[in-house]
Chains A and B, each alone.
Chain A
């Protein structure tokens, strides 16, 4: 499964549902500049867990929170390995 494509899709879907304007998703985009708020990210994480079968946040107690969109994707890609 293409993790990047799935994450991009969820960002777009949640932005649409929550009526948010999504910024262009580049790897160096700070997540908080993406147009999504905390609640949107929370929903994205739940939806990704349903699709990818993993929530990398819950598997590691020493979480370094992802800061950019690229970090976010890497975070999920590493968890899938």
Chain B
């Protein structure tokens, strides 16, 4: 692949490998060489590839998939999945400040492209500290997602080792590898951890540090981790793709002390309309795309959209102001699900909302108003039919777990449905 080095220099590239090791090798080699590198997560449907490539004005797609040689007239390079790909050699030119583009879910079902660079992604790493060669990191996150990428870069910069997870690998294999390589630090969402704790294999590893992020860490999961790993430090971190890492909480209690807002080094935080806003060097700079909304407010803060409640000097995260439901780390926009349900011929209108869940943090459920009347017997069949319709149109985590038929839905004075989370 060395022969492609000059061809990739200065270009916009979508890195759409399935294999995480191929992606890791490509990231290391392309930073400083390409102008823009889009990290396309392996779990994201390939149907968005053209949209993403277009929005990123990408000239090249780097992948380990067997794709046609061209995707919409773009050049496709194939990297082998063994992590030994050599896409670019040391350039004699001074390195570029490569834009790192991460994808998050958008309101329309299409991903949003969030622009970082190596400086923002590593801004919380102390480069003066001693190398942590005895640390072995791992994470349940894919390294193409912010939560995983941040750990990957931290490990690279600090001299630590890392066991990279692979979405195609069973939990048993991943935890067995983690045990074999003596993982000391490991991160994941509360949903990742609940899944691990529901397996006999969580007991295989003996981490010194367990970190949760990406979803609300409730007291039950903090207590369960404490019981499983009595000698580990357990912390939960507030971070998002847009806001970067804001702060970590290490007192093993859910929520965070109100002191955190004013006393976190290098991070400014404030609460506006009960929602957390964050400003730091770790933030993303903007969304790519012509019609994209502003990522920062006028004062340079990112509005996280995460609603807070203050109780006895402690803030608790209580969900999303905009109604987005976080299902095991995946964001669901209720409007997108409602639009699908409403296309079913028997449905008049619907309201999709969050229901708390002990496994995935939350799930979506729906209240549905149907046209006309139904007997109880037909009602069960229609529920099944609407859900089947949703499964044909939506990713599994977006499909409501249950439907309730209701006579009517509240419409507020704004003409919009009144949204209240269960």
Q: Residues of A with Cβ closer than 8 Å to B?
A: 17-18, 30-32, 38-39, 41-43, 45-47, 50, 55, 57-58, 60-68
Chain A residues with CB under 8 Å of B391's CB are: 17
Chain A residues with CB under 8 Å of B358's CB are: 42, 45, 55, 57-58, 63
9-residue interface stretch from B5-13, B63-71, B191-199, B342-350: B191-199
What's the Cα separation between A63 and B199 when bound, in Å?
A: 14
What's the Cα separation between A41 and B358 when bound, in Å?
A: 9
What's the Cα separation between A39 and B357 when bound, in Å?
A: 10
What's the Cα separation between A60 and B221 when bound, in Å?
A: 11
What's the Cα separation between A41 and B220 when bound, in Å?
A: 17
Contacts A47-B401, A66-B198 given; does A39 touch B224 at CB 8 Å: no
Chain A residues with CB under 8 Å of B290's CB are: none
Question: A39 to nearest B CB, angstroms?
Answer: 6
Question: B358 to nearest A CB, angstroms?
Answer: 3
What's the Cα separation between A37 and B115 when bound, in Å?
A: 32
CB-CB nearest 8 A-B residue pairs: A57-B358, A42-B359, A42-B360, A46-B401, A65-B197, A32-B199, A65-B198, A43-B401
Contacts A42-B401, A58-B356 given; does A65 touch B363 at CB 8 Å: no
Chain B residues with CB under 8 Å of A17's CB are: 387-388, 391
Q: Which of A39, A62, A67 contacts B199 (CB 8 A)?
A: A67
Q: Is the CB of B220 within 8 A of A57?
A: yes
Interface flags, B164-207, vs A, CB<8A=1, else 0: 00000011100000000000000000010011011111000000
Residue in A closest to B359 when the chains form the complex, CB atoms: A42
Contacts A42-B360, A57-B358 given; does A31 touch B365 at CB 8 Å: no
State whether the Cβ of B223 lies closer than 8 Å to any Cβ in chain A. Answer: yes
Q: Is the CB of A46 within 8 A of B402?
A: yes
Question: A63 to nearest B CB, angstroms?
Answer: 5
Question: A30 to nearest B CB, angstroms?
Answer: 6
Q: Which of B201, B220, B401 contacts A62 (CB 8 A)?
A: B220
Q: Is the CB of A67 within 8 A of B198?
A: yes
Q: Is the CB of B223 within 8 A of A62?
A: yes
Interface flags, B364-408, vs A, CB<8A=1, else 0: 010000000000000000000001100100001100011000000
What's the Cα separation between A38 and B396 when bound, in Å?
A: 11
Q: Is the CB of B396 within 8 A of A18?
A: yes
State whether the Cβ of B130 lies closer than 8 Å to any Cβ in chain A. Answer: no
Q: Is the CB of B396 within 8 A of A65?
A: no
Question: B183 to nearest A CB, angstroms?
Answer: 19
Chain A residues with CB under 8 Å of B397's CB are: 39
